[in-house]
Amino acid sequence: MSAPTSPDPVLTLADLESWSRPGTSLAVFGHPIKHSISPAMHNAALADLARTEPRFADWRYFRFEIHPDVLPRALEVLHAKQFRGVNLTVPHKIIAFDRVAAVDPAAQPVGAVNTLLWTDAGWRGHNTDGYGLAAAVRENLALDLAGTPIVLLGAGGAARGAAVECLQRRCASLWIANRTRENLDSLLATIAPIAGGIPVRGFAPTEIPRDLPTGALVINATSAGLRDTDPLPIDLTALPRPAAVFDMIYNPPQTALLKAATSLGLPTANGLSMLVHQGAKALEIWSGIPATRLAPTMNTAARAAMGV
Report the residue from 271, 283, 287, 298 that binds ligand NDP according to the rule CB under 6 A.
271
For ligand NDP, the nearest residue by Cβ is 156
Report the residue from 168, 173, 190, 223 that binds ligand NDP according to the rule CB under 6 A.
223
Report the residue from 25, 128, 148, 178 that binds ligand NDP according to the rule CB under 6 A.
178
Residue 147 or 231 having the CB closest to ligand NDP: 231
Q: How many residues bind ligand NDP (CB under 6 A)?
A: 28
| Least separation in angstroms between CB 145 and ligand NDP | 15
Report the residue from 78, 159, 163, 219 that binds ligand NDP according to the rule CB under 6 A.
159
8-state DSSP, 197: T
Strands (E), the chain: 10-11, 25-30, 60-65, 85-88, 102-103, 115-119, 122-126, 149-153, 173-177, 200-203, 217-220, 244-247, 268-269
Report the residue from 125, 157, 213, 242 that binds ligand NDP according to the rule CB under 6 A.
157
| Least separation in angstroms between CB 214 and ligand NDP | 24
| Least separation in angstroms between CB 58 and ligand NDP | 28
**So which residues are the catalytic ones?**
93
- Spatial strand order in the sheet of 60-65: 10-11, 60-65, 25-30, 85-88, 115-119, 122-126, 102-103
Report the residue from 39, 125, 213, 233 that binds ligand NDP according to the rule CB under 6 A.
233
Query: In a 3-state reduction of DSSP, which class is residue 91?
Result: coil
Residue 48 or 247 having the CB closest to ligand NDP: 247
How many other C-beta atoms are found inside a 10 Å radius of the C-beta of residue 296? 13
Residue 273 or 287 having the CB closest to ligand NDP: 273
Q: What are phi and psi of 300, to 5 degrees?
A: -60, -45
8-state DSSP, 69: G
Cβ-contact 93, 157 below 8 angstroms? yes
Query: In a 3-state reduction of DSSP, which class is residue 144?
Result: coil
Could you tell me the CA-to-CA distances from 186 to 167, 194, 218 in Å, in that order? 16, 14, 21
Site for ligand NDP, residues 181 to 210, rule: CB under 6 A: 183
| CA nearest neighbour of 158 among 105, 102, 220, 201 | 220
Q: How far apart are CA 227 and CA 223, in angstroms?
A: 9
Stretch that binds ligand NDP, among 16-24, 163-171, 210-218, 225-233 (CB under 6 A): 225-233
Residue 85 or 161 having the CB closest to ligand NDP: 161
| Torsion sign over Cα 28, 31, 34, 37 | negative
Site for ligand NDP, residues 102 to 131, rule: CB under 6 A: 129
Residues in contact with ligand NDP by CB under 6 A are 90, 129, 132, 154-159, 178-180, 183, 221-224, 226, 230-231, 233, 248-250, 271, 274-275, 278
